[in-house]
Amino acid sequence: MVDTRVNLCGITIDNPVIPASGTFGYGYEFAELYDINCLGTFSFKGTTLDPRFGNDTPRIAECPSGMLNSVGLQNPGVDDVIREELPKLERVFHKPVMANVSGFSTDEYAEVVKRLDRSAVSDMIGWYEINISCPNVHGGGMSFGTDAKMAAEVVKAVRWMTDKPIIMKLSPNVTDVTEIARACETEGADGISLINTLMGMRFDLRTKKPILANVTGGLSGPAVFPVALRMVYQTAKAVNIPVIGMGGVSSAEDVLEMMMAGAVAVEVGAANLVDPYASRNIVRDLPAAMKKYGIDSF
């Protein structure tokens, strides 16, 4: 009998499979399809201080072995998440959830965490995943994740607002991701998650214009898996805090590769958009894959 349990920043979860933010909504939508309590946990949709409609359409473009998105952090804002979304989730999910937080200033990141942490539903939250890596918004997001000093400032601001684990979500669109990971660790981050999407674009040959209204978008899917694996490997060797790997994961075997690269847990993103049962199927297939490769526990 294999043991799929892992310890993520002091919290034991049943398995390392975590649907990634932006691909799993606020969870209850997927609970209509299957019992989402089979998951280790999941990272809910990136939440900002104020409601955001997101970028103009079109904001999705297909490409070989993946997709581009420039959704732009569409969400109802933190107050509505506290009032409407999390109470609905509480009825169907009985494990700690990962709260994904985005912002356009250090103060905004801190304020979103403060409101979540002091809310009536704060007991539902096990970890804060701080997204400093979104490539699809202007004036925020990735700008914090490409500069070690700015990344450290976000960690410092958020650290004052909560005693819960803080996991910093990093961008692959940098020269040296380990420099930023180490800066986050120094300021008190409890974990690192990576990678977010790689910047890319497509043209419509008929109109001779970019397909995405935002011109560029984030590339995700199997095409980015080798890049993600390399960055997870480098980061896990560079820091002494847990690393969550993500980027193109679509099978139990991909999860095992991420774990071998040094990840303690693995997020599944674009695969959920192709097949809403993808994360459930990976959880189902994981014990057999572990047995096949002689892995008794993580």
**Annotated catalytic sites, by residue?**
134
> Which tokens in the block code for residue 130?
């701080």
Q: Is the dihedral of CA 229, 243, 261, 47 positive or negative?
A: negative
Question: What residue type is 247 in one-letter code?
Answer: G
What is the Cα–Cα distance from 11 to 13, expressed in whole angstroms?
6
Q: What is the dihedral of CA 203, 55, 66, 181, to 10 degrees?
A: 120
H or E stretch including 143? Answer: helix 142-145
CA distances to 16, 115, 247, 283 from 39, rounded to whole Å, are 8, 26, 18, 7
H helical segments located in 13-92: 28-31, 78-80, 86-90
Nearest to 60 by CA among 51, 68, 49: 68
Cβ atoms of 227 and 218 within 8 Å: the answer is: no
Compute the distance between CA of residue 157 and CA of residue 216 in angstroms, rounded to an integer: 30
- CA nearest to 132, candidates 153, 163, 159: 153
Q: CA 287 to CA 274: how far, in whole Å? A: 23
